[in-house]
Each structure stands twice: as C-alpha cells, then as structure tokens.
Amino acid sequence: MNLISFKTVILIAIVLFSNLAFSQVKEVKVLDSSKVRHINLGIKLGIPNLIGGSAEIVLPVLGNRIAPYFDYSGFSIDTDEISTSFSYLEYGSNLYFNQKGNGFFISLGQGKFNTELAFNALDFGNLLILSEPIFTDFNFNTTNIKLGIKSGGTFYFSFELGFGLANISNSVDFIATYGGITKSFSEELPPIPGISSSGILIGNIGSISDIFGFKYNKVLSTRLVIKWIIFTNRL
C-alpha cells in the first residue's frame, strides 16, 4: 500500500470512528462541544516560520484529541552576493493528552521548504560582469516531530518545540548560462536560522483565536476530513 492510500484509509477510518462515537454518546458530545474549540486560526512566531499563519481543526475523535493542522510562512534574506526567498509549508496532526483540544500534545507532520536563490556575483570568467541575477531553486522536505502545549479560552497561546528530520546539503549545485558561456557551479548556501545538515530545529509560540465556536456536526466533520484527504494527496 503506498503512502497516499495509507493516509486516505487512516483518515476515512477517523471519520467513521468519530461518527460512530457521536451516535453512541450524543449527549456527552453536545456538552463537550460547548467547551472545545473545533476550528482555530492564528499566527506563529519562531523557527523556521519566523512569522506565518496557522490553522487547526480539532476533530471529535478519541475524545477531541486528534487535530489536523496547517502552517504557512514566507520570508527573504538578502546579501550583496545572494538574495534568498523562502516559503515554508507544514501539515500534520496534533494528538492532545486530554479531551478538551488543548493542554499538552505531541505532533507528527511533514514540512516542505522551498527556496529561490538569486546569485548576483557568479564568476563566468572573461571579466564578465552580471547585469542580472542568476536564479536557481533549493528545496527539501522534513519529517517533523514536536511536543507542545496550548492554553484554553477564546484567545489562547501555544508553544511547541521539536525537530524536522532531513538530509540537507550545505551547498547547491547548478548549471547557468550567461553571455554565451555555460558553466557548472557549486555555491555554499547562506546561513538559515535553525537549519543544519541533519534537519531543522522547530520552536514556535503561537497566538490563536476561536472565531467560529460551532458545535460538532457529523456532516461538517465528514466534509472537513474529506477535504483534508484531497489536500494532502495533492502535495
């Protein structure tokens, strides 16, 4: 079974389980839904996000413990020789230790780090002076494991710490053409906060708001998970 079908089976099982649990303990779920914040939007500050947006959906699964999330951020670093534009996407799921969708949690996810590099001072020989930058890409994925805590309330805060496992090169190899000359280059990457050859350090604080505050609905929950399946399978 490949990775995509595995994720699909797991998420479909979550939907079926949550619907069954809802049918069996309907009164308890109604009470829990008045306390649990099911959809949360906010911002995160830290590494590697620097600053970015965050979304979380707390599903009524295993006592409101399963919460798929989605983070996105982008930033740039410029020097005389190189300009670097980053975008960072992370998605996965939090597993809360209690039944309120907050408190301590562990997290497993995948990060996608996309980088566009613009070199301003490549040496093509023959005294050529670049009149425009040379562009290339440097991309990698990470498997992220985190431990965190989230407070309760309508406006609340979160803190998470972890590591993204990956094999990351400290240089980028590419071929560029300028002034009729084609040449191979191997250029060192600029230092990026939190990134090493073995992966990325993850450390974030977040401020999140429950702007929806709706009660659990079986049909809505099913639709949200189906959309999550489609989204992750496209990545």
Strands of the chain, DSSP E:
39-47, 50-57, 66-78, 82-96, 103-119, 134-150, 155-165, 171-178, 181-188, 195-196, 199-209
**Residue 62 main-chain phi, psi, to 5 deg:** 50, 40
The answer to the question of residue 207 being in a domain is yes
Domain count, the chain: 1
The answer to the question of residue 221 being in a domain is no
The answer to the question of residue 24 being in a domain is no
The answer to the question of residue 3 being in a domain is no
The answer to the question of residue 140 being in a domain is yes
The answer to the question of residue 156 being in a domain is yes
The answer to the question of residue 226 being in a domain is no
pTM value is: 0.70
Q: Residue type for 219, please?
A: V
Q: List the pLDDT tens digit at each of the 235 positions of the chain.
A: 444 454 554 555 554 444 544 444 443 444 345 567 788 888 999 988 788 999 999 998 788 899 999 999 988 888 778 888 989 999 999 999 998 888 999 999 999 999 899 988 787 776 666 778 889 999 999 999 999 999 877 777 899 999 999 999 888 998 888 777 888 888 887 777 788 889 999 999 988 765 544 444 444 545 555 555 555 556 6
The answer to the question of residue 184 being in a domain is yes
Q: Which domain holds residue 202?
A: 38-214
Which domain CATH number covers 130? Answer: 2.40.160
